[in-house]
Amino acid sequence: MTNDKKLFRGFSRRDLLKSLAGVPIIGAVWYAGLSNTEKAKLEREFLLEKLNIKATPPPASGPMSGEPLRVGLIGFGIRGEQLMRSLGFATNEWLEDMAKSALENPNDKRLEDFKAQENLNVKLTAICDIFDVRAEKALRSFNSNGNSCKRYKSHLELINSGEIDAVIIATPDHWHAPMAKAAVEAGVHVYLEKPMTHTIQETYELRDAVTKNPDVVFAVGHQHRQTQSFLTAMDAISKNTLGHISMIMTTTNRNDDNGAWQYEIHPEASTATIDWNEFLGNAPKIPFNAEHFFRWRKWWAYGSGLSGDLLTHDYDRINCILKMGIPKYVTASGGIYTHRDGRNVPDVMHINMEFPDFTTGGSQEAGKEKGMTMVYSATLGNQFDRGTLLMGHDASMELGNTLSIYADPRSTKYREMIKEGRIDPKVPIYQYDPSANGVDAVTSATAKYFADKGLLWTYRDGKRVDSTFLHIREWLSCIRNGGTPSCGIQEGFEEAITAHMGGLSYKLGRRIEWDEANEQILALPGEDLDAVLLNNEV
């Protein structure tokens, strides 16, 4: 002990101060760090509690147990192949390509994701494609692992074969309704690609057929209904986070061949390998044309251009969130400005949809706010991402696979909080990014376009999931366990009518009106709207 005392004998108060000078600095820095994080956390929690937005995933669709469902496919093109992978069936060629690609790029998880995908307990028993090369490719790949798949030369043979319980239709637009109607009337469950129909008349007929066959489960392929950010958006809107929404801006921004429907023309395409008459169906009879076959989206005779092909995605994304239904008025304009290659559908297009009686609720005095415009603005000549914006009096929502909400500087609802400095209109008051910790491999500009819209994949428990897989699973679950698909005949009806109104307005150059009471698009005396819609000369 005496030694210890001796040790400190030469130690002055000044020495002690110099030894321990760092301690108060540590105290100050630590306190500042702790209190600043706590304060930020409290502000955040205060705001989140105030907004009360729930980012909960929807209940998973029911079990896939029981006898395997027998599924048939009509149309094994680009989309058909994607749908089959979501169903659990990939071609040998795709598997090889993906294995190679994963070796070159470790971020490419497409093969890994596919292999990890849940087994949906289905048999792919039947396939119909009128191009031999595609049909044979399917048969080569899908007659293995205990699955036996047969080719049918026509869709009617497939539907009436007795070998299928359900059918997936991924054909050109002009075949959607005739095939779906035949299947529904034969008691076969239907998953139909968008747009639901090609003409106005078909839209009513298909709805009648589905209504008359309530045992048939009918779903339209708007897979983004499974995207979690949209479900979060629905919750935000139901809590009146945005106030009265007067304007919605949706866009298509593409600048590549694939995005402009310039798909590859297969070298083996000929009248010997393609059943041309079966392709034409109700379309005008013309001699064999390989470009029309592979790039059918470029002609009104088979496709429906931006209004049917891409507006439908954006319209249904918003209809899924707001349930605003068919617009009262539609005005469209545009032209063929970026791809003057013989196509007759526009490649630049604006469609203004008016909902004069619609409101999402508001924060100002009753009666001041009512009505909304949704703008769809598209170009196939530039891919600057203009995003999707829902603009309310109190806040704006940027919507994609991520979701951000910014308070409006002139908001009534957030006025006090903005004044107190608790809300900065430049910083999102709410942000939802399920992939915040991940970087996803996107393979092409068009893939990025779809991914940003939440059309390629979504997230469950932080894991990336193919939204088409979830959408097909939901349809299969409704077949097995009962229930109604999130995008059924009513949603499809609204989507199709809206798209047709867009196409009509573009072609007629005037405002198109929907008579809600009579469920009719108003025509001038003697005017055949379907003839206008299908007219290849305009």
Partner 1 sequence: MSQTIKLTTAQTSGLVILRLFVGWHFLYEGVIKLYSPSWTAKGYLLSATYMKNFFQWLAGESMISIVDTLNIAALLIVGLGLILGYKTKLVSIIGIGLLLMYYFAHPPFPGYPQGITEGSYWIINKNLIEAAALMVIFLFPTSKVLGLERLWAKKNVQASTT
# of chain residues touching partner 1 (CB under 8 A)? 29
In the complex, minimum distance from the CB of residue 476 to partner 1, in angstroms, rounded to a whole number: 30
> Which segment (1-9, 51-59, 155-163, 248-256) binds partner 1 by CB under 8 A?
1-9
For partner 1, give the closer residue by CB, 106 or 525: 106
- Looking up tokens 């196409």 gives 503
- Does the footprint of partner 1 cover residue 462 (CB under 8 A)? no
Q: Which residues contact residue 32 at a Cβ distance below 8 angstroms, ignoring those fewer than 6 apart? A: none
* Residue 512 token pair: 């198109």
DSSP helix/strand/coil, 414: coil
User: Taking contact as CB under 8 A, which single stretch among the options 13-21, 208-216, 323-331, 340-348 is the one that binds partner 1?
Assistant: 13-21
Closest separation between CB of residue 109 and partner 1, Å? 12
- Token digits for 239? 């809590």
Sequential DSSP letters for 75-136: --SHHHHHHHHHHT---HHHHHHHHHHHHH-TT--HHHHHHHSPP--EEEEEEE-SBHHHHH
Strands 389-392 and 395-399: antiparallel
Looking at beta carbons only, is 99 or 436 nearer to partner 1?
436
In whole angstroms, the minimum distance from the beta carbon of 309 to partner 1 comes to 34
Q: How far is the CB of 377 from partner 1 (least distance, A)?
A: 28
Tell me if 112 contacts partner 1 by CB under 8 A.
no
Among 272, 366, 439, 531, binds partner 1 (CB under 8 A): 439
CB 31 to partner 1: min, Å: 9
Supply φ then ψ for residue 521, to 5 degrees.
Answer: -85, 125
Closest approach of partner 1 to the CB of residue 38, in Å? 7
Let me know: does 394 contact 369? Beta carbons within 8 Å. Answer: no
Nearest distance from residue 255's CB to partner 1, in Å? 21
| 256 near partner 1, rule: CB under 8 A | no
Give me the least distance between CB of 56 and partner 1, in Å please.
18
Instruction: By CB under 8 A, name the one of 65, 145, 437, 518 that touches partner 1.
Output: 437
Can residue 10 be called a binding residue for partner 1 (CB under 8 A)? yes
**Which of the ranges 229-237, 317-325, 350-358, 430-438 carries the binding residues for partner 1, by CB under 8 A?**
430-438
In whole angstroms, give the CA distance from residue 481 to residue 493: 24
Residues facing residue 463 across a β-bridge: 460
Contact between 272 and partner 1 per CB under 8 A: no
Q: How far apart are CA 232 and CA 56, in angstroms?
A: 7
1 sits near partner 1 (criterion: CB under 8 A): no
Each residue 14-33 as x (binds partner 1 by CB under 8 A) or -, in order, gives -x--xxxxxx-xx--xx-xx
Query: Residue 157: helix, strand or coil by DSSP?
Result: helix
19 or 444, CB closer to partner 1? 19
| Closer residue to partner 1 (CB): 38 or 93 | 38
Amino acid at 166: A
The mark string for 72-111 relative to partner 1 (x by CB under 8 A, - otherwise) is: ----------------------------------x-----
The answer to whether the beta carbons of residues 239 and 413 sit under 8 Å apart is no
Cα separation, 215 vs 203, in Å, equals: 20
CA–CA gap between residue 492 and residue 524 (Å, rounded): 26
Nearer to partner 1 among residue 223 and residue 404 (C-beta) = 404
Find the helix packing angle between 78-87 and 132-142, rounded to 10°.
Answer: 10
How far, in Å, are 207, 339, 340, 475, 507 from residue 344 at the CA level? Answer: 29, 10, 9, 35, 11
Separation of alpha carbons 504 and 498, rounded Å: 10
DSSP one-letter code for 458: E
Interface residue list for partner 1 (CB under 8 A): 6-11, 15, 18-23, 25-26, 29-30, 32-34, 36-38, 41, 106, 436-439
